């Protein structure tokens, strides 16, 4: 099939390139503004108790937690000064008249409510809620924020709250994306020139990456009209498109140049490259795609969006690499090596660095394997103390205006009025005495500053404010709700403990508890409950695909184990840096003692897929050599020699892309960039350079063993190169003195 595809790309090369150009232009025009169609939310499980509490609050009472806050600071005197009071009331009335804004209250409209006043009496709060979807809220706060960020002779005003925080997160992500592209593309081009020596050959992988980026933007534009898609998927789109586009193009272009040096005519070399490297690209794409598709099992659309983007990137990059790129090479012919800046002098076979490394490792495979595994486990040890959380304002840089407002509220106010936790009773016909009794019990829970209810406000087990006109908001036909105001940080262990204690408090009616802390508890439950399924799917499908690729049972098992070892070390390093705060000054972020719950899951699926990318490429050359010679040791050494430099180059370019995204000002994007860069470099060097040859040497001929019935299965449905793609070569020197096995033995 791939032979016919290669012939087709050569025969119809001009039509293919015209079609690709038309697609590129159309996709760019359609998907160029995709960022405006994407959302900044997606961190909650829509079926969880906390989400149902918020949905019920909206449906039955037409209200919800405040998502906009104005921090009003007196320039002279206190918030009770006449001029400051007048300005506070004016701002309250003005904000209440804004379209789509309701539930506006302030320190001054509530006649000096102490919780809305700072401890030094110089600051007061105006709270409000913007109704609507995430997109509606973002659009409204984008209009409101600049007009309410102001300074008068009497006060200064800053805008904060969840709506403004995540609006600024979204705009920061967009600007960071542009900065990362400007940084990564020229550096990547320089690396590719170092690899190929030719400007033309170096430019081809970037063209494939650009094709995948633009195509994926168009796909996300379509998907955003059908479902919620997170804006953070754009970062993955650009990074993975450049990374996989470059990887796959490196495989194809390098194989083409190798075949031309071996004596084939350019057109025949294109067909052979599609047959061999193209097969590797398709297998790699399948394993990477499966890893990313596992994110679809999670209910958070933040994670699902990474799956949408990742699957589109993989499909487009692979298609471009095996169809569009061969057509370009067929048109260029030997001009692929035009504009040569330097030429690498070929080394005799068996003399390169990677061959020598493999030979050294295979002479002492046991001690080397034990030592490397011990180091990886040691690096992974900090992950045993991981503490998960969800993003809040602290993912922004310290100078961001909404971050400044939130930090002031966090340090200068005694309660968390903007982080209230609604306790919703959707089918309650309770009497006031029952509501009062329940509110009293809730107010005694550690971490609760106050409970507001239909029957008044409670603190420390007693009524502190009787009901007033505003208390009517807690009543609806056959339903009521209570507002729990915490005095602990929602995204913390104390916040999670508070949620569990509130849910354990006996209630006279069925209740649903929401709020930021409850969302954290429910999201962790939803995510960790699905992790075994996701891991099982990735492991099973990867094992099956590698079996179809190799006909072996040991090689797929070894690949899965080594990838897990590599990721263990990466995760440990991420906890050491981002949770414990080491290098926080150098990397410019605020450690919170937490790791974003979704990031390790995303990182695992991406990094596992990329690890299999390099594994498939290495195994394809090892297997090719083994089929030709039957010598396990020789095939491993030659396979590593022929792929080591290329895999290292691919990993370096991909690491550059991820490091460019690590310059993001958003902490969890920085975490993803640093983590993936480390995972890719570690896998392409330490794992492929030492553990793979060590394990394959220890296994010997068992590398390619499978029971007879599985061999028959592989004979029938296994995927392999066409016979003409395998060129037998004479067996070379044997490292361990074992006679070469007959060609094909233990393979099929």
Give per-residue pLDDT as tens, 99-152: 989 889 899 988 888 889 999 999 999 999 998 877 888 889 999 999 999 999
- Whether residue 733 is predicted with pLDDT greater than 60 in this model: the reply is no
Q: What mean pLDDT do residues 459-479 have?
A: 86
Pick the range with the lowest mean pLDDT from 343-347, 386-390, 476-480, 702-706: 343-347
Confidence of residue 533 (pLDDT cuts 50, 70, 90): very high
pLDDT at 151: 93
- Whether residue 727 is predicted with pLDDT greater than 60 in this model: the reply is no
- Whether residue 296 is predicted with pLDDT greater than 90 in this model: the reply is yes
- Whether residue 745 is predicted with pLDDT greater than 70 in this model: the reply is no
pLDDT at 347: 64
Q: What mean pLDDT do residues 585-603 have?
A: 89
Q: What mean pLDDT do residues 150-162 have?
A: 93
Helix (H, G, I), strand (E, B) or coil at 101: strand
Give per-residue pLDDT as tens, 627-684: 787 788 888 888 888 888 878 888 888 888 888 888 889 998 899 889 999 998 888 8
pLDDT at 68: 94
Name which of 597, 595, 468 is nearest 111 in CA terms.
468
Pick the range with the lowest mean pLDDT from 74-78, 457-461, 641-645: 641-645
pLDDT at 507: 92
> Long-range contacts: 664-667, Cβ < 8 Å, 24+?
664/172, 664/173, 664/176, 664/180, 664/235, 665/172, 665/176, 665/396, 665/397, 665/400, 665/588, 666/169, 666/172, 666/173, 666/176, 666/395, 666/396, 667/391, 667/394, 667/395, 667/578, 667/589, 667/590, 667/596
Other CB atoms within 10 Å distance of the CB of residue 618: 26
pLDDT at 349: 66
pTM: 0.83
Share of the chain above pLDDT 90, in %: 37
> Long-range contacts: 7-15, Cβ < 8 Å, 24+?
7/271, 9/270, 9/274, 9/322, 9/323, 9/326, 9/327, 9/330, 10/267, 10/270, 10/271, 10/326, 10/327, 10/330, 12/327, 13/326, 13/327, 13/328, 13/330, 13/331, 14/327, 14/331
pLDDT at 315: 93
């Amino acid at each position: 099939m791939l032979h016919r595809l290669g012939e087709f790309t050569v025969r119809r090369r001009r039509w293919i390139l015209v079609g690709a150009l038309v697609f590129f232009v159309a996709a760019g025009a359609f998907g160029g503004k995709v960022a405006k169609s994407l959302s900044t939310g997606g961190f909650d499980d829509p079926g969880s108790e906390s989400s149902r509490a918020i949905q019920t609050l909206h449906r039955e009472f037409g209200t919800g937690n405040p998502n906009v806050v104005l921090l009003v600071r007196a320039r002279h005197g206190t918030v009770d000064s006449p001029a400051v009071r007048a300005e506070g009331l004016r701002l309250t009335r003005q904000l209440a008249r804004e379209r789509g804004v309701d539930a506006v209250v302030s320190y001054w409209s509530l006649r000096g409510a102490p919780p809305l006043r700072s401890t030094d009496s110089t600051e007061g709060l105006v709270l409000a809620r913007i109704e609507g979807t995430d997109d509606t809220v973002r659009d409204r706060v984008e209009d409101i924020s600049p007009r309410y960020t102001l300074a008068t002779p009497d006060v200064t005003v800053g805008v904060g709250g969840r709506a403004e925080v995540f609006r600024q997160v979204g705009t920061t992500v967009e600007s960071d994306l542009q900065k990362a592209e400007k940084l990564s593309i020229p550096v990547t081009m320089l690396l590719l020139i170092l690899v190929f020596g030719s400007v033309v050959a170096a430019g081809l992988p970037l063209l494939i990456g650009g094709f995948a980026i633009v195509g994926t933007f168009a796909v996300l534009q379509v998907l955003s009209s059908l479902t919620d898609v997170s804006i953070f998927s754009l970062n993955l789109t650009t990074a993975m498109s450049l990374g996989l586009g470059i990887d796959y193009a490196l495989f194809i272009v390098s194989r083409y140049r190798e075949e031309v040096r071996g004596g084939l005519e350019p057109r025949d070399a294109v067909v052979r490259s599609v047959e061999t490297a193209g097969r590797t690209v398709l297998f790699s794409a399948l394993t990477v795609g499966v890893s990313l598709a596992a994110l679809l099992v999670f209910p958070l659309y933040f994670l699902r969006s990474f799956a949408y983007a990742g699957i589109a990137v993989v499909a487009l990059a692979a298609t471009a690499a095996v169809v569009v790129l061969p057509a370009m090479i067929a048109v260029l012919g030997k001009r692929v090596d035009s504009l040569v800046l330097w030429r690498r002098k070929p080394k005799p076979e068996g003399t390169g660095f990677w061959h020598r490394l493999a030979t050294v490792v295979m002479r002492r495979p046991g001690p080397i394997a034990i030592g490397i595994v011990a180091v990886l486990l040691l690096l992974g040890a900090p992950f045993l103390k991981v503490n998960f959380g969800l993003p809040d304002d602290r993912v922004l840089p310290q100078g961001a205006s909404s971050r400044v407002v939130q930090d002031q509220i966090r340090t200068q106010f005694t309660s968390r009025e903007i982080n209230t936790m609604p306790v919703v009773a959707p089918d309650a016909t309770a009497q006031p005495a029952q509501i009062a009794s329940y509110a009293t019990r809730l107010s005694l829970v550690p971490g609760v500053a106050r409970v507001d209810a239909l029957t008044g406000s409670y603190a420390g087990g007693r009524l502190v404010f009787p009901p007033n006109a505003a208390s009517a908001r807690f009543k609806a036909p056959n339903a009521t709700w209570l507002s729990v105001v915490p005095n602990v940080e929602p995204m913390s262990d104390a916040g999670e403990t508070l949620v569990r204690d509130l849910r354990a408090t006996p209630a006279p009616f069925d209740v649903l508890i929401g709020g930021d802390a409850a969302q954290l508890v429910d999201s962790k439950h939803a995510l960790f409950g699905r992790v075994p399924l996701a891991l099982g799917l990735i492991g099973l499908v990867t094992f099956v695909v590698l079996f179809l690729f190799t006909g072996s049972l040991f090689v797929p098992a070894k690949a899965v184990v080594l990838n897990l070892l590599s990721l263990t070390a990466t995760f440990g390093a991420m906890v050491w840096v981002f949770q414990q705060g080491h290098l926080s000054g150098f990397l410019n972020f605020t450690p919170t003692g937490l790791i974003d719950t979704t990031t390790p899951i995303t990182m695992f699926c991406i990094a596992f897929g990329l690890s299999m990318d390099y594994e498939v490429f290495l195994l394809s050359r090892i297997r090719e050599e083994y089929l030709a010679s039957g010598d396990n040791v020789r095939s491993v050494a030659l396979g590593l020699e022929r792929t080591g430099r290329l895999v290292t180059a691919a990993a370096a370019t991909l690491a550059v892309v991820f490091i460019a995204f690590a310059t993001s000002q958003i902490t969890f994007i920085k975490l993803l960039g640093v983590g993936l860069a480390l995972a890719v470099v570690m896998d392409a060097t330490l794992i492929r350079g030492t553990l793979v040859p060590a394990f394959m040497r220890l296994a010997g001929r068992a590398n390619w063993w499978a029971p007879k019935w599985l061999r028959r299965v592989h004979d029938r449905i296994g995927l392999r190169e066409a016979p003409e793609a395998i060129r037998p070569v004479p067996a070379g020197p044997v490292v361990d003195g074992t006679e070469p096995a007959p060609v094909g033995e233990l393979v099929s």
